[in-house]
């Protein structure tokens, strides 16, 4: 041993501290243990509740599965639980239609707003826009259900159903206008050889807005006046809704979810990548499409999967605006009324008759619930896999 100039004292002389001094007060240890068990309890309650939910589903589902005549669950004319016809394709196809149409609305709009917020918006714009998006997320689904029933259904979907060509015409005009504007923009660019002045941009945006407004007015007044005087009243309850109307409502509800999860994914892409791309002479658009989106792809996929599972589980909107109550015939058209899995469960469990009907009517409700639960569970597991992949990468 090297002599470092410190002499170890004799054992007996080290008496200032003892093991009790370092053990700390007992009271503190008890407090720690109490706090620990409280948090453990809080965590276990949610686990316990999940187990109970699954358990309660399973019991009645088992009764249904073991006793039902399987021939009435496939290929019947529709979902008539009180008459003992439990045609699953009716519900599955309706759920599928709602989910697809909802994602057609929520996917592009949600991802689009995420890209705008994360890549293009200035700090000030983001500060202004994000809360608005969050307000949309906070709209109770029953309110959106009414909106779907009194506005989307008569004003949008029925018109598309009745005047498909007109809507397509309007879309073509909008696309055409945008192309012309884009072409004009390029001309201006080439002339100046530089970024567009804000003034030119403003004029273009204004033109686009005015054009869209004109088309909207023409569409609302002209069409309504000529073919259907009743629709002149802007908010009209007509009929009982269609799957597509409900689906658009569900889509609107899903936009904020898709937007916020995708925005998180985009924001987690390191800024260095954007800088590197810009430093190599890439334009903003190229950077976004070639670098940022691929880097965030697993998060965006996750956003879509979570969106799908949300859309599939949404109940109130489809219940109110889906266009069927208690029972539904099989349909594969989004312009018909139909019944999703969720709506079927909701409508069966409401009313005053406490679900009377065939012997298994009550149990069928649980069976549908289990199917829905398994589908969304699978989707959520897949989604969390994707989210984890984003986390690992950076």
Q: Which is nearer to other proteins, 71 or 122 (CB)?
A: 122
Query: Phi and psi (nearest 5°) for 322?
Result: -75, -15
**Least distance (Å) between residue 306 CB and other proteins:** 22
Q: Which is nearer to other proteins, 36 or 393 (CB)?
A: 393
Q: Could you tell me the two tokens for 126?
A: 């983001």
Concatenated DSSP letters of 208-224: HHHHHHHHHHIIIIIIH
Q: Which is nearer to other proteins, 295 or 312 (CB)?
A: 295
For residues 306 and 312, give the distance between their C-alpha atoms in angstroms, rounded to a whole number.
10
**Least distance (Å) between residue 123 CB and other proteins:** 8
**Least distance (Å) between residue 116 CB and other proteins:** 16
**Least distance (Å) between residue 120 CB and other proteins:** 12
Q: How close are the terminal C-alpha atoms of the chain, in Å? A: 48
**Least distance (Å) between residue 280 CB and other proteins:** 4
* CB burial string 25-42: b at 16+ within 10 A, e below: eeeeeeeeeeeeeeeeee
- Asked if residues 241 and 320 have their Cβ atoms less than 8 Å apart, the reply is yes
Q: Could you tell me the two tokens for 207?
A: 């033109």
DSSP-derived 3-state class of residue 322: strand
How many residues does this entry show for the chain?
394
**Least distance (Å) between residue 151 CB and other proteins:** 39
Q: Please, which residues bridge with residue 322 across strands?
A: 241
Q: Which is nearer to other proteins, 56 or 290 (CB)?
A: 290
**Least distance (Å) between residue 383 CB and other proteins:** 20
Could you list the beta-strand ranges (E) of 75-186: 78-80, 85-86
Could you list the beta-strand ranges (E) of 227-384: 328-329
Could you list the beta-strand ranges (E) of the chain: 78-80, 85-86, 328-329
Q: Which is nearer to other proteins, 12 or 193 (CB)?
A: 193
Q: Which is nearer to other proteins, 55 or 279 (CB)?
A: 279
For residues 147 and 24, give the distance between their C-alpha atoms in angstroms, rounded to a whole number.
63
> Residues interacting with other proteins, by CB under 8 A?
122-123, 192-195, 270, 272-283, 286, 290-291, 294-295, 393
Q: Which is nearer to other proteins, 52 or 276 (CB)?
A: 276
- Asked if residues 310 and 258 have their Cβ atoms less than 8 Å apart, the reply is no
**Least distance (Å) between residue 290 CB and other proteins:** 7
- Asked if residues 174 and 283 have their Cβ atoms less than 8 Å apart, the reply is no
Q: Which is nearer to other proteins, 131 or 270 (CB)?
A: 270
């Amino acid at each position: 041993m090297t002599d470092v100039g410190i002499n170890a004292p004799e054992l007996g002389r080290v008496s200032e501290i003892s093991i009790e001094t370092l053990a700390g007060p007992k009271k503190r240890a008890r407090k720690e243990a109490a706090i620990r068990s409280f948090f453990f309890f809080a965590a276990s309650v949610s686990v316990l509740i999940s187990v109970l939910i699954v358990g309660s589903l399973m019991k009645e589902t088992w009764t249904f599965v073991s006793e039902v005549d399987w021939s009435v669950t496939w290929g019947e004319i529709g979902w008539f639980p009180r008459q003992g016809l439990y045609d699953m394709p009716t519900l599955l196809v309706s759920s599928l239609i709602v989910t697809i149409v909802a994602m057609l609305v929520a996917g592009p709009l949600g991802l689009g707003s995420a890209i705008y917020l994360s890549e293009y918006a200035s700090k000030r714009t983001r500060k202004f826009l994000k809360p608005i998006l969050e307000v949309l997320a906070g709209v109770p689904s029953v309110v959106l259900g009414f909106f779907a029933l009194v506005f989307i259904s008569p004003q949008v979907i029925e018109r598309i159903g009745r005047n498909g060509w007109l809507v397509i015409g309007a879309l073509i005009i909008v696309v055409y206008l945008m192309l012309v504007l884009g072409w004009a923009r390029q001309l201006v660019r080439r002339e100046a050889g530089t970024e567009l002045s804000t003034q030119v941009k403003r004029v273009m945006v204004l033109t686009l807005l005015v054009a869209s407004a004109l088309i909207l007015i023409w569409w609302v007044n002209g069409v309504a006046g000529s073919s259907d005087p009743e629709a002149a009243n802007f908010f009209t309850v007509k009929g009982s809704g269609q799957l597509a109307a409900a689906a658009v409502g569900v889509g609107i509800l899903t936009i904020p979810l898709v937007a916020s999860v995708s925005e998180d994914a985009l924001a987690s892409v390191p800024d260095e990548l954007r800088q590197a791309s810009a430093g190599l002479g890439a334009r903003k658009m190229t950077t976004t499409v070639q670098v940022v989106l691929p880097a965030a792809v697993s998060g965006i996929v996750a956003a879509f999967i979570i969106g799908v599972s949300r859309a599939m589980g949404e109940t109130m909107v489809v219940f109110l605006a889906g266009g069927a109550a208690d029972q539904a015939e099989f349909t594969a058209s989004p312009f018909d009324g139909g019944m999703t899995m969720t709506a079927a469960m909701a409508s069966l469990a409401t009313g005053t008759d406490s679900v009377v009907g065939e012997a298994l009517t009550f149990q069928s409700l649980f069976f549908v619930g289990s199917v829905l639960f398994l589908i969304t569970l699978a989707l959520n597991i897949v989604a969390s896999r994707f989210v984890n992949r984003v986390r690992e990468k950076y």
